[in-house]
A and B are shown apart, each in its own frame.
Chain A
Amino acid sequence: MIDEGRPLFLQIAEAIEESILDGTLVEDGQAPSTNELAAFYRINPATAAKGVALLTDKGILLKRRGIGMFVAAGARSILLAERRTTFAERYIDPLIAEARTLGLGPDDLAALLRERSAPIGDAGSTASTEGSSA
């Protein structure tokens, strides 16, 4: 689960971000404490603290004195915006590279996308409509 090639504290931060995006952690709701994270992932508390600090700096988490860590209001929007910016780099570029190896061009890719998106089209309709207009 833990990637050898990247700093641990970044991976912890990302794991928390994932939880916020998929709704496991709700805005204004409680977030796991440093010690809880350290115990769960079996890592050094200082590393967990670094990850939490990173998110606090980003405005994703905030600390309520005496109570604990909480997910900031608006955290989800911040994350979505961030993800959208890196979407192309993280997902599209590797996709294109692999497609090239297999001899698939952009049109083939577009066709595949439409084909695979169809069943879940209604659920993610806003996003796919925007995407297919490209």
Chain B
Amino acid sequence: MERQEVAIQVDAWPEEKVRGALSVLWQHRELVWSLTVRDIHSRYKQSVLGIAWALLQPLAMTAVFTVFMSMVDRSYAGPIPRPVFIYIGMLPWTFFAGGLTSGTECLVGNFNLITKIYFPREVFPISAVLGKVVDLALGVLVLLAMLLMFRIHMTPWALLAIPVLVLQTVLMLGLTFILSSANLFYRDIRHVMPLVTQLWMYISPVVYGLERVHGTILSLYMLNPMASIMDAYRKVVLEAHPPAWNYLGYSAVVSIVIFVVGYRMFKKLEPLFAETV
């Protein structure tokens, strides 16, 4: 019989545990998967539309903003039809906002597991974010259908969307590590999150293009790591254009820093989780 050896060294010195954490995480990949599946189940079971809800959210938002923006911004004259232009921003943004929202709740929501069973706690934020990847994947199918419908041809540049998506996921995981553990200590976080993601959307090029941001404000605007990420999707997929490398590079650095800091913070607070919930 094959048996997986998971040596959990429980020790009084937390730094010893941190070192082995990534390998422990790899050993718990099946658990991550199980929790992700549970997450998806709990979202869509016993709803009439089921997983179709995952499509409806970005589509409805796209419809709303298409109408809204065509009233506000009549000068739009790009080659890309407005619904596609907005959808390519709305789709990854829905992933971003949804991942952060469910990620923030992931520790509080799994309170009974945290106080009863030990395994590395980072499986919760990771599976919360992965759960939203399924929604995203379905949304991508709709995107491909849209591109066919509007006869927009993709170039090999579009493949760059994949590493950009990985970058976005790294940023999301980093933020989720911070938000989920902070939410354990201060439940205010969960109330603030919908507001934050909403405002954040307006300061990112989601429903409008980056070309609308001019002059001195641009450098301030680009401090937001999501700005160049959202812009990159539109450039590589729709406009067959390379992304703005300098800004994207900056976002990559910020994302990795947030990920490392978030992970460190998470592991540092981890011993307190069971006592705090």
Bound together = no
